[in-house]
Amino acid sequence: MNGYVVRHANASDASALRAIRLESLVDTPEAYGSVYGDVARLSHARWRRMALESNFYLAERRGEVVGMASGGYNDAHPGTHWLFAMYVSPSARGTGVAAALVEAVSTWARRDHADTLFLHVTESVTRARAFYERLGFRYNGERISMDRDPTIQLLTMELALD
């Protein structure tokens, strides 16, 4: 991960968070529950609140944000800890940045006394699923349809944090 830093987002990251989120929606739109047009219309104040309140981690190199991930909770699975919004720019793939982002979210979950970290991965995005499997995530048998497009299937994966 030479030259890359992963850190928790803060209020001054609103514009960078917006840019990397929009990039993710252009790069792999089928991987996310949001769509570009809706996200692009969010106000700067909303992005600032998200940077402050949504537990985002950013990866950057020389001041440029090249990746993001978020840790949070899933109302459909009370008491569980989840990895959301994972994305790494093509220029930073293969550098260890993605694993460092997952580790940042895993560390948050451990600090919050979790023993398992969950995520949904789009079934058709096989490179993402293979990456998560390399990190030790395993498909737990749960499959759901994406809210915004029921034809897109999400697989639930989990990682033991012990």
pTM of the model: 0.95
Q: Is the dihedral of CA 104, 108, 114, 119 positive or negative?
A: negative
Q: How far is CA 68 from the centre of its chain?
A: 6
Q: For the domain 4-160, what is the CATH code?
A: 3.40.630.30
Q: Is 91 exposed, middle or buried (0-12, 13-18, 19+ CB in 10 A)?
A: exposed
H/E stretch holding 131: helix 126-134
pLDDT tens, residue by residue, 72-121: 999 999 999 999 999 999 999 999 999 999 999 999 999 999 999 999 99
What DSSP designation does 162 have? -
Which of the four pLDDT bands, split at 50, 70 and 90, describes residue 2?
Answer: confident
